[in-house]
A and B are shown apart, each in its own frame.
Chain A
Amino acid sequence: MFSMDLLLGAVVLGVLLGCFYAAVSVGLSVSFGLLDVPHVAHPAFLVLASYGVFLLNDRYDIDPLVAGLLITPLFFVFGLVAYRIYYEIFERRGSDAAVRGIAFFFGIAFIIEVLIILQFGVDQQSVSASYIGKSWRFGEFRIPIRQLVAFAVALGLTGLLAIYLSKTFMGRAIRAVAQDEEALRLMGANPVRIKQFAFGIATAVLGMAGALLIIVAPVEPTLDRAYIGRTFCVVVMAGLGSMTGTLIAAIILGVAETIVLTVFGASWAPAISFGMLLAVLAFRPQGLLGR
Chain B
Amino acid sequence: MALSLAIDGLHAGYGAVKALRGIAIGVESGETVALLGTNGNGKSTLMKCIMGLVRPDSGSITLTIDGAAHDLTRLTTEQIVDLGVALVPEGRRLFPKLTVKENLMLGAFRKTARGAIDRNLALAFETFPVLKEREHQLAGTMSGGQQQMLAIARALMSSPRLLLIDEPSVGLSPLLVSQTIAKIGELKARVGLTVLMAEQNFNQAIRIADRGYIIVHGEIAVAARSVDDLKANDIVKRLYLGGVA
Contacts and interface: CB of A to CB of B under 8 A. Distances in A.
Interface of A: 166, 169, 172-173, 175-176, 179-180, 182-190
A166 B113 CA distance: 19
B141 to A, nearest CB: 9
Contacts of A180: 93-95
B114 A169 contact: yes
B98 A172 contact: yes
A20 B105 CA distance: 33
B86 interface: yes
Interface in B41-81: 51, 53, 76-78, 81
Nearest to B105: A172
A188 B77 contact: yes
Contact of B109 (A166, A175, A182, A189): A189
A190 B105 contact: no
B77 A183 contact: no
B102 interface: yes
B89 A186 contact: yes
Contacts of B109: 169, 173, 187-189
A176 B81 contact: no
Contact of A179 (B51, B78, B98, B110): B98
A187 B81 contact: yes
Contacts, number: 67
B37 interface: no
Nearest to A168: B105
Contact of B105 (A169, A179, A183, A185): A169
B107 interface: yes
A187 B151 CA distance: 11
Contacts of A189: 78, 106, 109
Contacts of B93: 180, 182-183, 186
Given A176-B102, A179-B95, A183-B93, 6 more contacts: A169-B114, A184-B106, A186-B53, A186-B89, A187-B110, A189-B106
A266 to B, nearest CB: 40
7 contacts: A169-B108, A172-B98, A175-B102, A176-B95, A179-B98, A186-B53, A187-B106
B18 interface: no
Contacts of B82: 188
A169 B115 CA distance: 13
Given A172-B106, A189-B109, A183 B94 contact: yes
Contacts of A187: 81, 106-107, 109-110, 154, 158
Nearest to A290: B97
Contacts of B105: 169, 172
Contacts of B158: 187-188
B110 A188 contact: yes
Contacts of B87: 186
B89 A183 contact: yes
Nearest to B164: A186
4 closest A-B pairs by CB = A188-B81, A183-B93, A188-B110, A176-B95
Contacts of B113: 188
Nearest to A241: B97
